[in-house]
A = this chain, B = another copy of it.
Amino acid sequence: MAGQGGITDLLIRFATCEVPQDAAQMMRLSLFDWAACGIAGARDDDFADFAQIQMTMARGPNTILGGGTAAASAAALINGTLSHALDYDDTHFAHIGHPSVAVIPAVLALSEDIGADLETLVDAATIGVEGSILTGLWLGRDHYQIGYHQTATAGAFGATLGAARLLGFDADMTRAALGLCASMASGLKAQFGTMAKPLNAGLAARTGVEAALWAQAGVTAAHDGLAGPLGFGATHHGMDAPVNLPRKDWHIASISHKFHACCHGLHASLEALGPAGLNPDEIEGIHIRTHPRWMSVCNIPDPQTGLAAKFSYRQTAAMVLLGHQTGAIANYTDAITQDAAIVALRDRIKVSEEPRLSETQAEISVTLKNGAMRRFKHDLMTPMDMNVRAAKLNQKAQALLGDAAARALWNAAQGESLRGFTSQLVMS
């Protein structure tokens, strides 16, 4: 049970909460990061035909990442998909998903429809992202383990809640929108590794827009489609885990941003090595210890392609030590896996599993040629100062978009003009 009245009552009350300043500040960072990932993702030709179909079938004024326009629900669908295409967007480990790609495209599209300013968009997105994390916590790990893609399922409820906040719904209408969402929220982990994974995020964003607009149009739904009898939780292996209204510290504070364009299992080791200040010429050997789960996921010892490089401790560690930007997608080439300096350093790196570590931790010991030993470790769950995070996100955006575009996007995302922001999304 989630507080008094269950998760649905909790979410409905939550949709009218005041958003704390630091939560909104974090959401602004995620908005910036989402846009950078989305603009870069829109360059991928894979989804061009898909996006074109939607834009042709649903003409409208709403901004599409990379250029073009469509009606609100189609814009949410396309933007949600494109912004998850690189799988480089933010993550929340309690949500077990990527919150921004479902929520932001929904509130962005509706913000354009009603002419909201950026602060209003960020306010609604914060409710939506936090709402999707609360829903994810309530659904619990079973839901994810059995095969549901929580980015899409919990994400659809978050997108719906963000839309309800933006449109100023009363409790009854928010309830109706959540009820409609319960019939539409869907998406399978079986799609991982295919284009349907980003599509799932887009579908969740569209569901948020449609559930809200259809509730507004008077379409009725189950009184408690999420948590009631035969509801979404009961049918979709939800755990009905205890969830409380967030008080001072919102879950959004512990959102994770990706700073490396490779498998998340590698990030802790790269964060540990990045600031280590090691001179590669002085290194005799490196020993990386990681959680056992990652050994079968991202421990390709001698990758031969750029794609395989994204799943290699040895390759990415050598890259970061030799000054190659691991945040730049363009750096993961077939050629870099054959680079002589990389290969030589890579061959001095050993990787082993360490059950004592959590999935977000890595420990690294480095033996120097002078016999000295140095140790580094990192946990991705370590709180990060907001300014440090902002600086790292700017660096990432620069790697994705170039310096000038990244700076212009940053300024727009910190401003109040929605058009100022959306005008940056179509640059490429």
The residues of A with any CB-CB pair to B shorter than 8 Å are 46-47, 49-50, 52-53, 56-60, 71-74, 146-149, 152, 179-180, 182-191, 194-196, 199-200, 203, 213-214, 217-222, 224-225, 228-232, 234-237
Q: Are B57 and A73 in contact (CB under 8 A)?
A: yes
Contacts A50-B218, A234-B147, A235-B148; A188 near B196 (Cβ below 8 A): no
- Enumerate 7 A-B pairs (CB-CB under 8 Å) in ascending A order: A49-B218, A57-B58, A180-B199, A183-B191, A188-B230, A191-B221, A195-B221
Identify the closest chain B residue to A203 (Cβ). Answer: B184
Quickly give the copy total for this chain: 2
With the chains together, A224 CA to B221 CA distance in Å?
32
**Known A52-B217, A152-B183, A199-B219; further 16 A-B contacts with Cβ < 8 A:** A47-B219, A50-B219, A57-B71, A146-B235, A147-B229, A180-B196, A183-B186, A183-B200, A184-B203, A188-B231, A188-B232, A189-B230, A190-B225, A191-B222, A194-B221, A195-B218
With the chains together, A232 CA to B235 CA distance in Å?
13
Identify the closest chain B residue to A70 (Cβ). Answer: B57
Specify which of A56, A152, A188 lies most central, judged by the most chain B CB atoms within 10 Å of its CB: A188
With the chains together, A189 CA to B229 CA distance in Å?
9
Identify the closest chain B residue to A222 (Cβ). Answer: B190
Interchain CB contact (< 8 A) of A179 among B60, B194, B214: B194
With the chains together, A148 CA to B225 CA distance in Å?
12
Q: How far is the CB of A220 from chain B (nearest CB, A)?
A: 4
Interchain CB contact (< 8 A) of A214 among B53, B213, B228, B234: B53
Interchain CB contact (< 8 A) of A183 among B46, B188, B217: B188
Identify the closest chain B residue to A207 (Cβ). Answer: B186
With the chains together, A73 CA to B49 CA distance in Å?
16
With the chains together, A354 CA to B73 CA distance in Å?
51
Which residues from B are CB-within-8-Å of A220?
A: 194-196
Q: Are B183 and A147 in contact (CB under 8 A)?
A: no
Which residues from B are CB-within-8-Å of A74?
A: 57-58
Q: How far is the CB of A49 from chain B (nearest CB, A)?
A: 4
With the chains together, A130 CA to B204 CA distance in Å?
30
Interchain CB contact (< 8 A) of A203 among B71, B183, B218: B183
Q: Are A231 and B190 in contact (CB under 8 A)?
A: yes
Q: How far is the CB of A369 from chain B (nearest CB, A)?
A: 48
Interchain CB contact (< 8 A) of A186 among B186, B189, B219: B186
With the chains together, A229 CA to B190 CA distance in Å?
7
Q: How far is the CB of A139 from chain B (nearest CB, A)?
A: 13
With the chains together, A186 CA to B42 CA distance in Å?
28
Identify the closest chain B residue to A149 (Cβ). Answer: B183
With the chains together, A188 CA to B178 CA distance in Å?
13
Interchain CB contact (< 8 A) of A190 among B46, B152, B182, B213: B182
With the chains together, A179 CA to B200 CA distance in Å?
12
Q: How far is the CB of A2 from chain B (nearest CB, A)?
A: 18
Interchain CB contact (< 8 A) of A213 among B53, B147, B189, B234: B53
With the chains together, A49 CA to B214 CA distance in Å?
8
With the chains together, A261 CA to B65 CA distance in Å?
49
With the chains together, A46 CA to B220 CA distance in Å?
10
With the chains together, A182 CA to B196 CA distance in Å?
10
Q: How far is the CB of A39 from chain B (nearest CB, A)?
A: 21
Contacts A58-B74, A214-B50, A235-B237; A225 near B147 (Cβ below 8 A): no
Which residues from B are CB-within-8-Å of A53?
A: 213-214, 217
List the 7 closest pairs (A to B, CB-CB), nearest first: A147-B230, A49-B217, A57-B71, A196-B221, A190-B230, A190-B222, A147-B235
Interchain CB contact (< 8 A) of A57 among B60, B195, B196: B60
Q: How far is the CB of A402 from chain B (nearest CB, A)?
A: 28
Q: How far is the CB of A67 from chain B (nearest CB, A)?
A: 18
Identify the closest chain B residue to A45 (Cβ). Answer: B218
With the chains together, A187 CA to B218 CA distance in Å?
19
Q: How far is the CB of A234 from chain B (nearest CB, A)?
A: 6
Identify the closest chain B residue to A194 (Cβ). Answer: B220
Which residues from B are CB-within-8-Å of A234?
A: 146-147
With the chains together, A224 CA to B191 CA distance in Å?
9
